[in-house]
Amino acid sequence: MPEVKKYDAIVIGGGHNGLTTAAYLSRAGKKVLVLERRYILGGAAVTEEIFPGFKFSVCSYVVSLMKPIVMRELMLPKFGLELLPLESTFTPLDNDYLIRTADPDETYREIARHSLRDAEAYMRFGPLMGQIGMAVRPILETIAPNAIRPSLSDLFAGKKLLNHFKSLTSEQFEYLTKLMAMSSADFLDEWFEFEPLKATMSASGITGTLMGPRSPGSAYVMLHHYMGDIDGSFRAWGFQRGGTGAVSMAIARSAQYFGADIMTEAPVEKVIVKNGKAVGVALENGDEYTSDIVISGLDPKLTFLKMLDESDLPSNFVTDIKNFRIRGSSGKVNLALDGLPDFTCLPGEGHHLRGAITISPSYDYLERAYDDAKYGNFSQEPYLDIILPSVLDPDMAPPGKHVMSCFVQYAPYNIKGGWDDKKREAFGDAVINALARFAPNIKDVILHRQVLTPADLESTFGLTEGNIFHGELSLQQLFALRPAVQWADYTTPIRGYYQCGSGTHPGGGITGSPGEMAAKKILSKW
Amino acid sequence: MSYNKQFNAETQLKLSPFFDRTSKLNESQEWRRWSGYLSATNYELTHENEYFAIRTKAALLDITPLYKYLIEGPDAQRFLDRLVTRNINICKVGQVMYTPWCDEDGKVIDDGTVQRLSERKFRITSAEPNLEWLEHNAAGMDLTISDDSVTTAAVALQGPNSRDILNALSSDSLDSLKFFWMMDTMFNNIPVSISRTGYTGDLGYEIWMDPNDALFIWDLLLEKGKLYGITPTGLQALDIARIEAGLILLDVDYISSRHAIVESRKSSPYELGLGWAVKMKKKYFIGKQALEREVTRGPEWEFVGIEIQWTELENHYRNVGLAPGLPSTAWRTSTPLYYNHEQVGYATSGAWSPILKRYIALAHVKSAFAVEDTKLQFELKVEHFRKLTAAKVVKTPFFDPERKRSCPR
């Protein structure tokens, strides 16, 4: 006899956004159940001890866009949110390097070593991007409207946005337009001349996206990354003590504090729909839970095409969801190390190891890496965004040992012939070789290595096609179009069924924002 | 000194070519940052002796962190005349002009001095890097712009005895070197340029040299200057002196329009008390059109001297049982100014003037309140509580000794 229990709301998926929605609904006094398929919470923001003593932020590895209001309202610092600063961005080169730090004098001096002009331009670029970020932020903080049949609150919010856009300076408007339309390479060429600086800056325009730095539209993704906000300072990325899983756990504890029930190893099979309305969920083990409201934190493909039957949905909507671009483009290599990498261009320890280390020596390097992916191969010489969590937080590894996180691009989901063990290892080797070019000792200090291809990200974490953002952050998939027109306000064609994952506005990254706004939308209609 | 490839173990900041000496002389080991350089705050444990060196003896300051650019070529004069608000066409070889420069909206980007080194060669100094702006405006002109910031080292020798020290060293007498003129000379066969300029409002000079000669020149100055009371001096003493002289400081009294992220942070020359340096009769300079409109309209803000009135200040302290509390160093915290309890401005830097025995400040006030002798109220914190105390608008420079400009017969 299957167990039946009634909740006010059920959240499918214990990722950080699902947990955020659950925490907000619980905070409003609703009885909420979170159902997580895996043994551990966090979704892609998860910390796991992959090798004994070595803890990894297995997928998502930095925090930048965590919304301040979410941190405050859910009291996350009380529940374990501790964001340590990532102090620098270090780009090793064959005979030199580039390092940018939090200190303006040091950064000026370092860039000036390569180009005096760039050093000056850089001083103006940051504040300008901050201003542009300010211009975009109200969009990110507005619940996306139903563009076909706007509600009264949609119209009100739309008017507010319109007024906001009227208040922009002509400079903000000019750059906003450029960022919407241009490639990150073209955009940065207007500002800088030193190639490794431009390439490194452009790399944030390709993250999680199957585009190269010269692909139009990549500039917007760069802006999205520029809005990183810790303690109100833009472009301040942080590392969560204990890994990104500790962010998810802080949200989970907050949700539990407000009264939510959370179950792990509870995979949902289907959303139960009766007369066009969601009434509960059925687990794979046959258990059923009923509730007035069901919310999916999964990506749009799973939310609609797996949790529901296509026949329950309008056919044009099904087409939109099928066309939603969710091409996985990245992989992850996690290393357990016996010692620190030693860079030929800047030997020894130093604060260059306390921040991001990025293998992005030139546009051509990145664009060639993209070319491989375009034709169905992983990059032979991939772009790497590396951090050494154990340098920032020694508890991540046994004393004297280290963990290294390598975000790798490109690794297309649709690789020729499909991913298999042999390709996974070859991909891992390419990553190590790309790093060894600049830090030759790396091969000698690796104790263990975990290689995650987009296929692994899909099978382990339920990220369709391995896309880390639940769908690319390209313009046609943002705001009122994320994930589909008319259904960008967290509602769905099924009454009582809502969505709250990164596939909704404002998109991916550890932000808590989709989860928060979905909860606020649900509560406004309750 | 070039940009080091390797990080320095001592500091991540730049070191001036005088650092080998200044670091050993700096008894307090207090340093500030100046344009990314490590720069002495004061050499002794307090700045008082250094301040009085500026006003009564001779103070030696390392001013290498200034940004310096060389402009050379047939169009150099035309270029600079378009760039800055002063009339460079009348600047003679060997003359120096202090000037601000503006963007197209007439908002000040930076201020500094233009030195005419020869018919076709100029040096311009600035507080912030300006290479980008200079190059941007040199398009199509026949000239070269080179960054001279690290290729020329400089010290300032300021104070009533400064001329005597230089005369004791120099192959040529400085007696006829007029205020804001410069000359080339030799110290022990080492060529140096000396300009009669400074940031103290006193008799003083700035000495420009090859960085390779820096330590030699420093030693020579200290050796010959000893009899005249030469004193290595840090930024804290300088800050008081420049306030007494009514001289503005970028990023303290105003923000460069290139870096001001909102319009209200930008200032025109008129709003900084630099109207005298804007030569509207010039055919063209960057920002002229906007400034013409501003002249017609009248500037919204003005930059004035403020004197905080003694009696009321003393009373505020007496009321809590204290002797008057005066700032021992110059302050840089924006401080509100009121007229009839409505805020009409803010002071951006201030100091107790030890030589004038007056509490003075530099302030932005709305034009209607900028008239001399206007009575304002200055916000003062007495024992943790905010008070308003009487202040009035006064003429700058607060301190303007005859010797600043005069020449011996």
Condensed to tens digits (0 to 9), the pLDDT of residues A108-162 reads 999 999 999 999 999 999 888 878 887 888 888 888 888 888 888 888 888 888 8
Cross-chain CB nearest to B14 (options A109, A121, A350): A109
Q: How many helices (H) and strands (E) does chain A have?
A: 18, 20
- Give the other-Cβ count within 10 Å of B225's Cβ: 24
Q: Searching chain B, which residue's CA lies closest to the CA of residue A123?
A: B259
Res B248: pLDDT: 98
Name the minimum distance, in Å, from the CA of A350 to any CA of chain B.
Answer: 10
Peptide bond into A410 cis (omega under 30): yes
Distance between CA atoms of A19 and A485, rounded to whole angstroms? 25
Q: Do B36 and A119 touch (CB under 8 A)?
A: no
CATH fit for domain B19-66+151-233, picks 3.30.1360.120, 3.40.190.170, 3.40.50.1820, 3.40.190.10: 3.30.1360.120
Distance between CA atoms of A43 and A11, rounded to whole angstroms? 13
Rounded to an integer, the average pLDDT of B38-58 is 97
Question: What residues of chain A lie within 8 A of the CB of B3, using their CB?
Answer: 109, 112-113
Q: Is the pLDDT of residue A1 over 50?
A: no
Q: In this predicted model, what pLDDT tens digit does every residue of A5-28 receive, in sequence order? A: 689 999 999 999 999 999 999 999
Distance between CA atoms of A459 and A462, rounded to whole angstroms? 6
Q: Is the pLDDT of residue A233 over 50?
A: no
Strands A261-263 and A97-101: unpaired
Res B344: pLDDT: 98
- Give the other-Cβ count within 10 Å of A448's Cβ: 13
Residue A145 DSSP symbol: P
Q: Does domain B71-136 have CATH number 3.30.70.1400?
A: yes
Res A3: pLDDT: 56
Interface test with A, best of B131, B133, B257, B264 (most A CBs within 10 A): B131
Res B10: pLDDT: 55
- A322: tokens are 């099928």
**Could you tell me if B311 lies within 8 Å of chain A, comparing CB atoms?**
no
Write the CA distances from A8 to A14, A30, A368, A378, B109, integer angstroms: 17, 6, 51, 45, 60
Res A116: pLDDT: 95
Cross-chain CB nearest to A131 (options B13, B258, B261): B261
- B298: tokens are 């009248």
User: Looking up tokens 């300032």, which residue turns up?
Assistant: B156
- Which string of DSSP letters, residue by residue, matches A338-381? SS---BTTB-S-SGGGSSEEEE---HHHHHHHHHHHHTT---SS
User: Looking up tokens 């994320």, which residue turns up?
Assistant: A482
Q: In this predicted model, what pLDDT tens digit does every residue of B288-315 receive, in sequence order? A: 999 999 999 999 999 999 999 999 999 9
Q: Name residue A177's amino acid.
A: T
Question: What residues of chain A lie within 8 A of the CB of B130, using their CB?
Answer: 120
Res A220: pLDDT: 86
Q: Is the pLDDT of residue A222 over 90?
A: no
Q: Searching chain B, which residue's CA lies closest to the CA of residue A96?
A: B5
Question: What residues of chain B lie within 8 A of the CB of A130, using their CB?
Answer: 261
Name the minimum distance, in Å, from the CA of A497 to any CA of chain B.
Answer: 44
Cross-chain CB nearest to B132 (options A108, A121, A169): A121
Name the minimum distance, in Å, from the CA of B366 to any CA of chain A.
Answer: 25
Distance between CA atoms of A313 and B384, rounded to whole angstroms? 67
Question: What residues of chain A lie within 8 A of the CB of B135, using their CB?
Answer: 117
Rounded to an integer, the average pLDDT of B196-217 is 98
Which residues, 6+ apart, have CB-to-CB distance to B55 below 8 Å?
A: B159, B160, B202, B241, B354, B355
Residue A302 DSSP symbol: I
Distance between CA atoms of A496 and A518, rounded to whole angstroms? 13
Res B4: pLDDT: 39
CB distance A11 to A17 below 8 Å: no
Q: Do B3 and A120 touch (CB under 8 A)?
A: no
Res B1: pLDDT: 30
Interface list for chain A against chain B, based on CB atoms closer than 8 Å? 96, 103, 105-106, 108-109, 112-113, 116-117, 119-121, 123-124, 127-128, 130-131, 169, 350
Q: Is the pLDDT of residue B8 over 60?
A: no
Cross-chain CB nearest to A116 (options B7, B131, B258): B131
Query: From the centroid of its chain, how far is CA A408?
Result: 14
**Could you tell me if B265 lies within 8 Å of chain A, comparing CB atoms?**
no
How high is the mean pLDDT of chain B?
Answer: 95
* Residues across chain A: 526
Write the CA distances from B136 to A117, A362, B83, B116, B196, integer angstroms: 11, 26, 11, 21, 31
Provide the number of CB pairs (under 8 Å) joining chain A to chain B.
43
> Domains, chain A, ranges and CATH?
4-48+64-83+242-325+469-525 (3.50.50.60), 121-232 (no CATH)
Q: Do B259 and A127 touch (CB under 8 A)?
A: yes
Name the minimum distance, in Å, from the CA of B258 to any CA of chain A.
Answer: 7
Q: Do B147 and A108 touch (CB under 8 A)?
A: no
Distance between CA atoms of A466 and A453, rounded to whole angstroms? 8
Residue A324 burial by CB count (10 A; 0-12/13-18/19+): exposed, middle or buried?
buried
* Integer Rg of chain B from CA: 22
Tell me the pLDDT band of B266, cut-offs 50, 70 and 90. Answer: very high
Res A319: pLDDT: 96
Q: Is the pLDDT of residue A526 over 90?
A: no
Q: Do A113 and B3 touch (CB under 8 A)?
A: yes
Distance between CA atoms of B347 and B336, rounded to whole angstroms? 6
Q: In this predicted model, what pLDDT tens digit does every residue of B16-36 receive, in sequence order? A: 999 999 999 999 999 999 999
CB distance B336 to B379 below 8 Å: yes
Res A4: pLDDT: 57
Rounded to an integer, the average pLDDT of A307-331 is 95
Cross-chain CB nearest to A105 (options B3, B33, B131): B33
Q: In this predicted model, what pLDDT tens digit does every residue of A399-450 receive, in sequence order? A: 999 999 999 999 999 999 999 999 999 999 999 999 999 999 999 999 999 9
Distance between CA atoms of B262 and B258, rounded to whole angstroms? 10
DSSP three-state, residue A273: strand
Task: Give the bridge partners for A278, in sequence order.
Answer: A273
Question: What residues of chain A lie within 8 A of the CB of B104, using their CB?
Answer: none
Q: Is the pLDDT of residue B194 over 80?
A: yes
Distance between CA atoms of B157 and B196, rounded to whole angstroms? 10
Question: What residues of chain B lie within 8 A of the CB of A127, using their CB?
Answer: 259, 261
DSSP three-state, residue B121: strand
Tell me the pLDDT band of B11, cut-offs 50, 70 and 90. Answer: low
Cross-chain CB nearest to B12 (options A106, A112, A119): A106
Angle made by CA atoms B168, B170, B172, in degrees to the nearest 5 = 115
Q: Do B259 and A350 touch (CB under 8 A)?
A: no
Name the minimum distance, in Å, from the CA of A499 to any CA of chain B.
Answer: 38
Res B237: pLDDT: 98
Res B6: pLDDT: 41
B82 backbone dihedrals φ, ψ, rounded to 5°: -70, -35
A277 backbone dihedrals φ, ψ, rounded to 5°: -130, 140
Interface test with B, best of A88, A98, A106 (most B CBs within 10 A): A106
Question: What residues of chain A lie within 8 A of the CB of B13, using their CB?
Answer: 105-106, 109
DSSP three-state, residue A197: helix
- B373: tokens are 């002798």
Write the CA distances from B65 to B13, B153, B162, B243, B246, integer angstroms: 11, 8, 21, 20, 21
Residue B403 DSSP symbol: G
Name the minimum distance, in Å, from the CA of B261 to any CA of chain A.
Answer: 7
How high is the mean pLDDT of chain A?
Answer: 93
- B244: tokens are 């007494």
**Could you tell me if B5 lies within 8 Å of chain A, comparing CB atoms?**
yes
Rounded to an integer, the average pLDDT of A49-73 is 93
* Residue among A506, A510, A523, A498 at smallest CA distance from A307: A498
Burial letters A227-245, b for 16+ CB under 10 A, else e? bbbbeeebbebbbbbbbbb
CATH fit for domain B263-267+300-394, picks 3.30.750.24, 2.40.30.110, 1.10.10.10, 3.20.20.70: 2.40.30.110
**Could you tell me if B357 lies within 8 Å of chain A, comparing CB atoms?**
no
**Could you tell me if B264 lies within 8 Å of chain A, comparing CB atoms?**
no
Q: Do B259 and A124 touch (CB under 8 A)?
A: yes
ipTM of the complex: 0.89
Q: Do B36 and A116 touch (CB under 8 A)?
A: no
Q: Searching chain A, which residue's CA lies closest to the CA of residue B262?
A: A131
Average the pLDDT over each of A46-60, A169-183, A241-255, A445-459 and give the range with the smallest value.
A169-183
Res A165: pLDDT: 83
Q: How many alpha carbons lie under 13 Å from residue B30 in its C-beta half-sphere? A: 12
Q: Searching chain B, which residue's CA lies closest to the CA of residue A116?
A: B131
Q: Do A117 and B132 touch (CB under 8 A)?
A: yes
- Name the more confident of A475 and A226: A475
Tell me the pLDDT band of A362, cut-offs 50, 70 and 90. Answer: very high
Name the minimum distance, in Å, from the CA of B321 to any CA of chain A.
Answer: 41
Interface test with A, best of B2, B3, B110 (most A CBs within 10 A): B3
Domain positions in chain B are: 19-66+151-233, 71-136, 263-267+300-394
Q: Name residue B116's amino acid.
A: R
Q: Is the pLDDT of residue A72 over 60?
A: yes
Distance between CA atoms of B61 and B239, rounded to whole angstroms? 12
Average the pLDDT over each of A53-67, B198-212, B351-365 and give the range with the smallest value.
A53-67
**Could you tell me if B12 lies within 8 Å of chain A, comparing CB atoms?**
yes
* Residue among B316, B288, B326, B235 at smallest CA distance from B28: B235
Q: Searching chain A, which residue's CA lies closest to the CA of residue B132?
A: A117
Question: What residues of chain B lie within 8 A of the CB of A106, using their CB?
Answer: 12-13, 36
Question: What residues of chain B lie within 8 A of the CB of A131, using their CB?
Answer: 261
Report the greatest alpha carbon distance in chain B: 68
* Residues across chain B: 409
Residues 16-55 of B with CB under 8 A from A: 33, 35-36
**Could you tell me if B146 lies within 8 Å of chain A, comparing CB atoms?**
no
Distance between CA atoms of B188 and B224, rounded to whole angstroms? 12
Burial letters A92-108, b for 16+ CB under 10 A, else e? bbeeebbbbbebebbbb
Which residues, 6+ apart, have CB-to-CB distance to A466 below 8 Å?
A: A328, A330, A331, A411, A413, A453, A454, A455, A456, A457, A458
- B216: tokens are 């030699």
